[in-house]
Structure 1
Amino acid sequence: MLKKIINKENKLPFIILLAIVSFISFNVLNKNFFKNLRFDLTRSNVYTLSSGTKSILESINEPLDFKLFYTKQIGDINPVYQNYYDRVKETLEQYVLISNNKIKLKIFNPKPFSNEEDKAVEYGLQGVEILAGVYGYFGLIASNSTDDEEKIVFFQPDRSSFLEYDLSKIVTNLANPNRRIVGLYTDLPMLGTFNPLAKSQDAAAAPPWAVYNQMKEFFEVKRIHEKTRIISEDLELLMLVHPKKIPERLIYMIDQFVLKGGKLLVFIDPNSESESFSPEANQSNDDKNSSSLSELLDRWGVKLVEDKIVGDLLSARRVEIGTSDQPSVTDYLAWLDIKKDHMDSSHQVTSKVQRLTFATSGFLENSNKNKDIDFKRLVWSTTQSMKIDASEVIAPDPTTLLRNFVPENEELTLAAEVKGNFVSNFPNGPPDTGKKDEFDKNKHINKSIKPSTLIVVGDADMLYDEYWLRYEQSGEVVPIANNADFTVNLLEYLNGTEDLIGLRGKGSTSSPFTKVEKIQKEAEQKFRAKEQELLEKLNNYQSKLENIQKGTSEEEGKSVLTDKETKEIEKFREEMIQVRSELRKVQNALRKDIEKLDSTLKFFNIFFVPILLILISIILGVIERKKRHQKHIVRETN
């Protein structure tokens, strides 16, 4: 019966019908049974969620509501946003699946002047102007059962490499809504001061530093001091700022805290300028104003090079020197203004930081005393840097420093992250404090129970208001750098879960044409050299022509050019034409190399695959024909 239906006349329609049924069946199966099956063929596994994210999503205990707002007109105007929206949507759909539907995702299209737009505005999402007075939105609102809320006000494509980190951070914060705690130890007046001997009330009280106020907005800050008897079990992060005179018993407590998996953020300083602002500074007999915490950090793999300051010609800040009658402005090598290109753009902490200011900062090195760590620099100086003796900046003369500057062609590390396992700095057990049973020797740990993370910054002054805030005459306070954002980012990063800390920025979804870029750079180097040569010759010719026209030659005063001068001008013009011709050759060579590569790529993309398929089809056809011919011969023989 089937053979009658599939006869020669009905064969083609039947094949078409079978193909349509197969296509529909495949899509139905794919939608219902294989929707979580994905293949990520990108080089950096951009579309593959990390094991840390999966662990976070699988540990969610309560439902979370995610509302994604996207105005489609944004993508119509700029396809980059449409592509990024597709990626955000697909990533969130993966979050829903892996969380076993604990995350509830709703998608809104806030068209102009719609109820959805009113919702987006009410939630505080950032709008971008599509047309005059018409705004579009691309953001996320997430909440938990207790109405805690996290948001991304606008998804910026340039932060696409941190999409997974940002979303996982939101999940972590909502799944663990309790206010996070930071333990703070400092020998600087960060919390404000009161001096009863001051002559006026204004002078008696100094307010807390702006960085400290910003920290309190995000965290519960617990003070750690010399008399602290125990570090609380619920504390997972310690922040040490200029730990200059920290007692041994507290050093031991911090040592054990890190070995148990606690995180540490340390600001040390070879020359603390802000220490002089403390009321205790005048009462102290210690004339040194440096801190290194070498008793802990050196054995753990990181050290501050003592008594040395970073001087950086390209990052030097402009300062005013001289008297009020004769002021002048110069570069102060020891005060640094570090731009984004000297920060790790792949790290969550520094990816959005644009500018950092440092004051007489030290630099960090791997002490090579711990092989079980990963030492990673976060912020560094330019190659136009020099190591300056700390004694030269106690009463600094910026002009003398500038005059004596000799670059060492070395990038010096200003901030570093150290991850791994550590050993105790007290191998023989707790120190003898003179108090009986202050520490239980049986609970002493000599090696890390689990890996931990330290971040060390070589300057504590960067936290002081004067070095990153500008006070306007109107009374307004304007940040000139992202020092406070950087500090809060560090605390956010270290206060995350192990899974969250393990996440790194992923590669870009776009793959550059590295071969084309290489050709362009090589040709551009030649082009720039020729261009410079041309400019120099043109300037030379121009000055000579001006001398001739002004009559600065030997026969001055003549208004008519001599034959000799005319020949010289003609010679200049010929040489200019020749140089321009050489310049055009370089440009043409650049275009030819790129066009040749372009033609090759087009051939492989457009023609190679079809030609290959045709060849394979011909080969298979020949093989099949030979088989049929062989069968025919066998039948004839029989």
Structure 2
Amino acid sequence: MSATRTTLTTGSLLVLAVLFVALIILSNMFLRGARLDLTENHLYTLSEGTRNILGDIDEPINLYFFYSERASRDIPVLRTYATRVRELLDEFVQVSKGQLNLHVIDPLPFSEDEDRAAQFGLQSIPVGANNETVYFGLAGTNSTDGLSVVPFFQPDKEAFLEYDLTKLIYNLANPEKPVLALISSLPMTGGFDPMTRQPGQPWVIYEQLQQLFDVRVLGGDIDQIDDDVRVLMVVHPKNLSDKTRYAIDQYVLGGGHAMFFVDPQAELETPLNPNDPSAMFAEKSSDLPELFKAWGIEYNKDQIIGDSGYALSVSVSADKPPVRHLGILSIEKSGLDTSDVITADLSTINVAMSGFFKLAQDSKLSLTPLIHSSTFAGPIDASKARFLPDPSELAKGFQETGEPYTIAARLSGEVSSAFPDGKPQDDSAEGAQDTASEASDSDHLATSKGPINIILVADTDILTDRLWVRSQNFFGQRLVSAWANNGDFIANSVDNLLGNSDLISMRSRAT
């Protein structure tokens, strides 16, 4: 009896062991990617925006996941995150209904796979005493040989993982990027730094726009905005010719989508002569008076908003405590429109020396605030901010009005042209003779074809790196880390003007 019981017990244990191993194998085969999501924002659950984008893929997309599994054997953080990435990729494949093909590759040293990873533009990092290289990135290709990559997956960016993957797939599924035309007097593209006499670094927001759109920089006199421009972005308009302002006017009246950034005090406006000591006192404002008047908008380029409610503390010098700066504001959730898809899921937006908008009393348009000050705010003469060694000076004579001020807003409704007499004449002799290039009266739009839909922002510093990102060099690659939602606000606004709500929901959810 004892021997039989022992035999049965041993046999039962063997059966259980076999079943357990089989269960593990089957789980790995069929349940890869399945997980219980207990995170606050359900970061481990595919969002509706991702599912919509994956469901709209028309042609197959190949994903090449390069992960140096052997070389990273002693890096537990990387191995754990690699599992997370692989599981999410598997889930993407399942939801795509056969349109995504995933290839998992361990690029061994001196192999064709390693050469291919380098050709795709993936980033490798040396690890260990033997300087083994680790690849941990993704390359995607479509049927037209389009390429989009994540050079290296950073574990500290896990919150953005789903968005980064979804954006990569969206770009491959929609290879023809919409055209964004940019008119800017600020060095967003990097330009030339007169102080260092070296090419400047492009602003992060400009680089991000390039990833999402076909950015077309416009300069000089502009006769018209091309028909293929989906969104027009005008930043710090200074000294625009009548011809250019007319082109903007007609683009908006024709139903074109646009964002306008004006500023009473643009901190990064480059002086014409940086060696001139008086340059620091120069006026750095911008305005579109004719257009704003036609649109029923009141904006004073000589006033900035001071706000003791959202004021940031800044360091003046190492031997002094931080000082609250009434002109540099960190606008929290209470200052954002939570009912608008652009700002609903954002937390913090930083602005500096911002102006404000009001709707004219006789205006029939709708001005819907997206970003506004607190009620502890009031206007300050912009001249006080032109050279400000001590931010506490702004508090002298400052008076709160008890009302919020609109810093960014949607403007919608039907409008008339700011040029009722039609296209301005070219003053040059050559232009006067060349009447063939002039638009005929029949081409002139006196009123909008329908309700306009544009976004106004009374600050240009919202676009600058210093107010929302930190940059670091990672083995020759520039890596940025956002600490505010400025970039999300800009990208969300453009996406919304284009009608792409899925990427908006993804971006805001990640942030």
Shorter-chain TM-score: what band? Answer: 0.5 to 0.7
Unaligned runs of 5+ in 2: 1-30, 61-80, 101-141, 149-165, 506-511
Q: Once the 2 structures are TM-superposed, how far is the Cα of residue 148 of structure 1 from its aligned partner? A: 7.9
Contact 1:463/1:483, CA 8 A, preserved across alignment: yes
Residue 385 (structure 1) aligned with residue 377 (structure 2): yes
Opposite residue 421 of structure 1, the aligned amino acid is E
Distance across 2 between alignment mates of 1:346 and 1:140 = 30
Opposite residue 320 of structure 1, the aligned amino acid is S
Cα 1:444–1:473 shift into 2, 3 Å: closer
Q: Once the 2 structures are TM-superposed, how far is the Cα of residue 268 of structure 1 from its aligned partner? A: 0.3
Cα 1:471–1:504 shift into 2, 3 Å: closer
TM-score in terms of structure 1 length? 0.52
Cα 1:340–1:127 shift into 2, 3 Å: farther
1:256 matched to which residue of 2? Answer: 250
1:547 matched to which residue of 2? Answer: none
Cα 1:414–1:195 shift into 2, 3 Å: closer
1:212 matched to which residue of 2? Answer: 206
Partner of residue 412 from structure 1, selected from 405, 409, 414: 405
Cα 1:80–1:463 shift into 2, 3 Å: closer
Contact 1:195/1:279, CA 8 A, preserved across alignment: no
Q: Once the 2 structures are TM-superposed, how far is the Cα of residue 240 of structure 1 from its aligned partner? A: 0.5
Partner of residue 191 from structure 1, selected from 164, 189, 199: 189
Residue 179 (structure 1) aligned with residue 151 (structure 2): no
Partner of residue 304 from structure 2, selected from 296, 301, 309: 309
Cα 1:467–1:360 shift into 2, 3 Å: same
1:221 matched to which residue of 2? Answer: 215
Cα 1:292–1:501 shift into 2, 3 Å: farther
1:449 matched to which residue of 2? Answer: 449
Q: Once the 2 structures are TM-superposed, how far is the Cα of residue 277 of structure 1 from its aligned partner? A: 5.9
1:362-377 equivalences in 2 (<5 Å): 362-371=355-364, 373-377=365-369
Q: Once the 2 structures are TM-superposed, how far is the Cα of residue 440 of structure 1 from its aligned partner? A: 2.0
Q: Once the 2 structures are TM-superposed, how far is the Cα of residue 327 of structure 1 from its aligned partner? A: 2.1
Contact 1:71/1:137, CA 8 A, preserved across alignment: no
Distance across 2 between alignment mates of 1:79 and 1:285 = 48
Structure 1 residues 186-223: Cα deviation after superposition (integer angstroms, max 9, x where no partner): 11111123257x6xxx5433222221112111111111
1:625 matched to which residue of 2? Answer: none
Residue 485 (structure 1) aligned with residue 488 (structure 2): yes
Partner of residue 74 from structure 1, selected from 20, 36, 55: 36
1:574-589 equivalences in 2 (<5 Å): none
Partner of residue 224 from structure 2, selected from 225, 230, 249: 230
Q: Once the 2 structures are TM-superposed, how far is the Cα of residue 137 of structure 1 from its aligned partner? A: 9.1
Distance across 2 between alignment mates of 1:414 and 1:446 = 29
Opposite residue 290 of structure 2, the aligned amino acid is E
1:429 matched to which residue of 2? Answer: 422
Structure 1 residues 108-127: Cα deviation after superposition (integer angstroms, max 9, x where no partner): xxxxxxxxxxxx98995776
Structure 1 residues 315-339: Cα deviation after superposition (integer angstroms, max 9, x where no partner): 11111125x5x32211011001111
Give 3-state SS (helix, strand or coil) of 1:448's partner: coil
Q: Once the 2 structures are TM-superposed, how far is the Cα of residue 402 of structure 1 from its aligned partner? A: 3.2
Cα 1:79–1:182 shift into 2, 3 Å: closer
Cα 1:410–1:139 shift into 2, 3 Å: farther
Residue 288 (structure 1) aligned with residue 291 (structure 2): no
2:387 matched to which residue of 1? Answer: 395
Q: Once the 2 structures are TM-superposed, how far is the Cα of residue 298 of structure 1 from its aligned partner? A: 2.4
Distance across 2 between alignment mates of 1:471 and 1:503 = 24
Distance across 1 between alignment mates of 2:443 and 2:270 = 40
Distance across 1 between alignment mates of 2:473 and 2:173 = 45
Cα 1:409–1:400 shift into 2, 3 Å: same
Opposite residue 441 of structure 1, the aligned amino acid is D
Opposite residue 300 of structure 2, the aligned amino acid is V
Opposite residue 233 of structure 1, the aligned amino acid is D
Give 3-state SS (helix, strand or coil) of 1:362's partner: coil
1:552-591 equivalences in 2 (<5 Å): none
Give 3-state SS (helix, strand or coil) of 2:330's partner: strand
Q: Structure with the greater relative contact order (CA < 8 A, sep ≥ 6): 1 or 2?
A: 2
Distance across 2 between alignment mates of 1:145 and 1:102 = 10
Distance across 2 between alignment mates of 1:454 and 1:243 = 16
Opposite residue 190 of structure 2, the aligned amino acid is G
Q: Once the 2 structures are TM-superposed, how far is the Cα of residue 279 of structure 1 from its aligned partner? A: 6.0
Distance across 1 between alignment mates of 2:450 and 2:502 = 14
Contact 1:358/1:462, CA 8 A, preserved across alignment: yes
Q: Once the 2 structures are TM-superposed, how far is the Cα of residue 354 of structure 1 from its aligned partner? A: 2.1
Residue 336 (structure 1) aligned with residue 329 (structure 2): yes
Opposite residue 405 of structure 2, the aligned amino acid is L
1:246 matched to which residue of 2? Answer: 240
Contact 1:258/1:452, CA 8 A, preserved across alignment: yes
Distance across 2 between alignment mates of 1:328 and 1:454 = 42
Q: Once the 2 structures are TM-superposed, how far is the Cα of residue 379 of structure 1 from its aligned partner? A: 0.6
Distance across 2 between alignment mates of 1:503 and 1:122 = 25
Opposite residue 221 of structure 2, the aligned amino acid is K
Between 416-425 and 301-310, report the one with greater CA deviation. Answer: 301-310
Structure 1 residues 139-173: Cα deviation after superposition (integer angstroms, max 9, x where no partner): 955779769899xxxxxxxxxxxxxxxx9x99997
Q: Once the 2 structures are TM-superposed, how far is the Cα of residue 351 of structure 1 from its aligned partner? A: 2.6
Give 3-state SS (helix, strand or coil) of 1:269's partner: coil
1:572 matched to which residue of 2? Answer: none
Distance across 2 between alignment mates of 1:72 and 1:285 = 59
Distance across 1 between alignment mates of 2:175 and 2:344 = 25
Q: Once the 2 structures are TM-superposed, how far is the Cα of residue 472 of structure 1 from its aligned partner? A: 7.3
1:360 matched to which residue of 2? Answer: 353
Q: Once the 2 structures are TM-superposed, how far is the Cα of residue 251 of structure 1 from its aligned partner? A: 0.5
Percent of matched pairs sharing the same residue:
29
Opposite residue 217 of structure 1, the aligned amino acid is Q
1:536 matched to which residue of 2? Answer: none
Q: Once the 2 structures are TM-superposed, how far is the Cα of residue 229 of structure 1 from its aligned partner? A: 3.4
Distance across 1 between alignment mates of 2:457 and 2:145 = 37
Opposite residue 239 of structure 1, the aligned amino acid is M
Between 396-405 and 242-251, report the one with greater CA deviation. Answer: 396-405
Q: Once the 2 structures are TM-superposed, how far is the Cα of residue 248 of structure 1 from its aligned partner? A: 0.5
Opposite residue 255 of structure 2, the aligned amino acid is G
Structure 1 residues 531-580: Cα deviation after superposition (integer angstroms, max 9, x where no partner): xxxxxxxxxxxxxxxxxxxxxxxxxxxxxxxxxxxxxxxxxxxxxxxxxx
Between 249-258 and 400-409, report the one with greater CA deviation. Answer: 400-409
TM-score in terms of structure 2 length? 0.63
Opposite residue 388 of structure 1, the aligned amino acid is I
Opposite residue 222 of structure 1, the aligned amino acid is R
Number of positions where the alignment pairs a residue of Structure 1 with one of Structure 2: 389
Distance across 2 between alignment mates of 1:375 and 1:250 = 25
1:461 matched to which residue of 2? Answer: 461
Q: Once the 2 structures are TM-superposed, how far is the Cα of residue 482 of structure 1 from its aligned partner? A: 2.1
Distance across 1 between alignment mates of 2:397 and 2:380 = 10
Distance across 2 between alignment mates of 1:368 and 1:502 = 37
Give 3-state SS (helix, strand or coil) of 1:399's partner: helix
Q: Between Structure 1 and Structure 2, which shows a larger proportion of helix residues? A: 1
Contact 2:271/2:279, CA 8 A, preserved across alignment: no
What's the RMSD between the two structures over aligned residues? 4.7
Distance across 1 between alignment mates of 2:206 and 2:310 = 26
Q: Once the 2 structures are TM-superposed, how far is the Cα of residue 70 of structure 1 from its aligned partner? A: 10
